[in-house]
Amino acid sequence: MKRNIVIGAVIIVLIAIGVWIYQYTTTPDTSLADEAIDNIRIGDTVDHLKEDFIKDQQIVLEGKQFYKSRQHKGMIVRVSDKSKKVSAITVFKNKDVATSRNVHVGDTTDEVTEVYGDTYKKSVLPNKKSSITYKDREHKMTLKFTISKDHVKRIELFSE
């Protein structure tokens, strides 16, 4: 009797895993191949940042350098020490900087999903915040919008 219960439980778990794998592999990606924030793209070289960005000495993380924009407060770019290429772009508290599809900090959740579509993962975060995350598996990129009170508070574009 106990053996049958264990076998039944294992079968149910295997079916659940199979359904999850099927949904994961058949969920359409959101193409982020042409995505940029303020015309900066993942993979751009440090030289592309030009004079507007200065190295942020306050953020120290092994293998990475961080640059902050002089012109756009609240915009930080992460560069890999090894490749010398942009690996992440973050924007917060700055409504002037936009994504390639013209989404800004301060836009509503509906405006984000209207432009980027409904192939996102929504997560609940502390302090009554949530996030909407779009993945591009082919280009190994992620675009994440942190939401509070139905408005974008932070935009992050990064490589995996």
**Residue 52: DSSP 8-state:** G
Reported pTM? 0.80
**Residue 31: DSSP 8-state:** P
Give per-residue pLDDT as tens, 92-113.
999 999 999 999 999 999 999 9
How far apart are alpha carbons 33 and 139 in whole angstroms? 6
**Residue 96: DSSP 8-state:** S
Per-domain boundaries in the chain: 1-30, 31-159
Q: What is the model's pLDDT at position 24? A: 60
Give per-residue pLDDT as tens, 122-140.
889 998 999 999 999 889 9
Q: Indicate the pairing of strand 64-69 with strand 53-55.
A: antiparallel
Q: What is the mean pLDDT of residues 19-36?
A: 74
How far apart are alpha carbons 92 and 23 in whole angstroms? 32
